[in-house]
Chain A
Amino acid sequence: MQLFWRLSVAVFLSVCKGYGQTHQGSLKPFVSSVTGKAFVVSKENPDLPPQKLDQNDSVLVQAPYSLVTSKDSFLEIKNLSPAQPYTMRIGQKTGVEFRRKSNFYMFQGSMLLAGLGEMSYSLESNGSKIQLNGSGTFIAEVIPVGFKILVLEGSFSTVSSVEDASMESGDLVLMSGENGKLSQKIKIELPLLLSTSRLVTHFPEPLITQSRLISAAQVQVLRMKSKYNAFIGGVSEDRQLRIWKVPSAQKADK
């Protein structure tokens, strides 16, 4: 009888230990999709060679570390941490450093962050630093003066030392300077953005916020007054926003 109880306790403890390991393992960000070549680079051990990331790999390196993609490469990382679960998609030729929890330093390129609950992200680049609080999906792109932020759905508020502002679905904002100075908000056509953004379309599985992306786009269409015959490009080195006029053959929406 004593042997039975000892065996029962041993089995129970092993199951608990196994569960703990599994659960702990799942908290590490893992690669849910990868196209082309993507690598993880440890900042604490810079002498270690970059580790190539494959599908379903967990990112076991301790923060801070960087995720980098090469040309024609895309990477999707899922973080299932109960505190701040999110999905991150990284575009081509992008470098993102994971610092502390939801604190990212972008060297170059573009990334998409999607979360269902309230989140707090800290974004930093060579040109700017900003904190975003809220719930939804947004794209951040590194530009010479800082960031270009596009909110695809949901709403975020920016917290910076200069000014606080709120952003809603369809808003494009440029952030510049170390203090995170915000530009004027510009509304962007969401259905067109969603159908042309490779950060949305170039992955096999839809985002966890896919239904919210669609409803945000539908609402914008119903609220639409007019479309401008122009497209927004990048930002030049002399801090000028490039706007491309649509050729006359493609006009007629306004």
Chain B
Amino acid sequence: MKVFIFSISIFSFLYLSVSNAWSWERKRPMRQYDYRPEQVDQFRNRQQQLKQKYSSSRSSHEIAKSDVGLQRPVESKKKGFGYQLGFSSKIYHSNNPLSTESGSQKVSAGIWENSVSNNFLLGAYDLRGATFSPVIGLSYTNFTHFGHDLVKEIDFGSISLNFAGIFSFGKGWSLRPSLGFTADLSMEDSMSRQYSQVSPGIALGKSFSIGKARSFLEWSMNLAFTNTPGQIASKDLLDRFETALTWGIDIPFGDFEFGPFLNMSLTDYSNQSKTDFTGTLGLNLTYSITDWMALRIYSTLSSRNSSKDSRDFTRLDTGAGATLNARF
């Protein structure tokens, strides 16, 4: 009898614990940790660090009588170490900030996103036929939600450390092996870690000019080794392999720049039988006030199609922001 009562007690404890945890997980609003829209911004930040400014070849042709060409004196660093400090603030409306398919958690809300980014360019090296530029990026982004009671609980900060070695070849080709670490910290729970991932990856890129516009195409492959402490079933449930194709174009006109981009990614989860296809279409209009200050309005439409039920979502973010960038 004692054994029976003990067994019932244990069973009841386990049942209540699991059901409480399950109901807590279901009631508590949850983000999709594996949906990371900041990747395109990080890509653009790196591009900004490596942005090349050329003098106009049309200027001063009258002094170029010889066949040698225009000789403009410049001052160079010895190795090319550089540092870029960036601050970005944007406020936007999202029709689905929790990235859910439907139900009570599909609500509209506002998001205020502030980020500080540091990019360290660890020199530029001539490999005679290719260049090599190692870049370390360290950034922190704070997400504050407003406009709906449900989303106020999911405020979080995301810290990201990324090391990339960028090999640039002729005709705009580039190869970028990278290793990144990202951790999402809960603002509501004493900055405890909600999610983290270590992601080695490699990307092949091609940039080209279309008139005055600059376009880029990048194919990337990334592994993500994840840790989600709140997951009951398995902390590494979101481990995945992701391959993505990103295309973008920057079209300048006056002080404005129109920059649409398209990202398509296919993600296969190693610890669950799930394959996702995510497409993101973004439209950016940037107004440069100075070399280091810009304002922008933008809209991003994302859609996920998952092989698993109830994991699809469509999300539209529309907002405005300001960026400050200083290069040293």
Contacts and interface: CB of A to CB of B under 8 A. Distances in A.
B67 A154 contact: no
Interface string A189-229: 10111111111101000000011101110111111111110
A110 B68 contact: yes
B57 A195 contact: yes
A224 B74 contact: yes
B21 interface: no
A187 B76 contact: yes
Given A187-B76, A246-B59, A221 B53 contact: yes
A253 B55 contact: yes
Interface of B: 50, 52-57, 59-61, 63-64, 66-80, 82, 121, 124-131, 133, 168-170
29 contacts: A91-B66, A92-B67, A150-B71, A187-B75, A188-B72, A191-B55, A192-B70, A195-B54, A195-B69, A196-B69, A197-B69, A198-B69, A199-B68, A202-B67, A215-B131, A218-B124, A219-B124, A219-B131, A222-B50, A223-B80, A224-B74, A224-B75, A225-B74, A225-B75, A227-B55, A230-B72, A234-B66, A246-B59, A253-B53
B176 to A, nearest CB: 15
Contact of A223 (B57, B79, B169): B79
A82 interface: no
B257 to A, nearest CB: 18
Nearest to A136: B128
A197 B68 contact: yes
B67 to A, nearest CB: 3
Interface in A139-155: 139, 141, 148, 150, 153-154
B71 A232 contact: yes
A172 interface: yes
B71 A199 contact: no
A253 B72 CA distance: 11
A110 B67 contact: yes
A196 B78 CA distance: 25
Given A196-B64, A211-B129, A223 B59 contact: no
Contact of A228 (B50, B63, B66, B72): B72
A244 interface: yes
A142 to B, nearest CB: 10
B126 A215 contact: yes
A148 B72 CA distance: 14
A21 interface: no
A110 B66 CA distance: 8
Given A215-B128, A232-B72, A250-B60, 20 more contacts: A109-B67, A139-B69, A153-B128, A189-B71, A189-B72, A192-B55, A195-B54, A195-B69, A196-B64, A196-B69, A197-B68, A200-B69, A202-B67, A215-B168, A216-B126, A219-B80, A219-B124, A222-B133, A225-B76, A232-B73
Contact of B74 (A74, A198, A220, A233): A220
A170 B170 contact: no
B207 to A, nearest CB: 12
Contacts of A186: 73
B82 A222 contact: yes
A233 B60 CA distance: 11
A109 B68 CA distance: 9
A210 B169 CA distance: 11
Nearest to B127: A215
Given A91-B67, A222-B124, A250-B60, A192 B72 contact: yes
A17 B278 CA distance: 67
Contacts of B77: 223-225
Contacts of B55: 189, 191-192, 227, 253
A128 interface: no
Contacts of A221: 52-54
A169 interface: yes
A12 interface: no
Contacts of B126: 153, 169, 215-216, 219
B75 A250 contact: no
Contacts of B61: 196
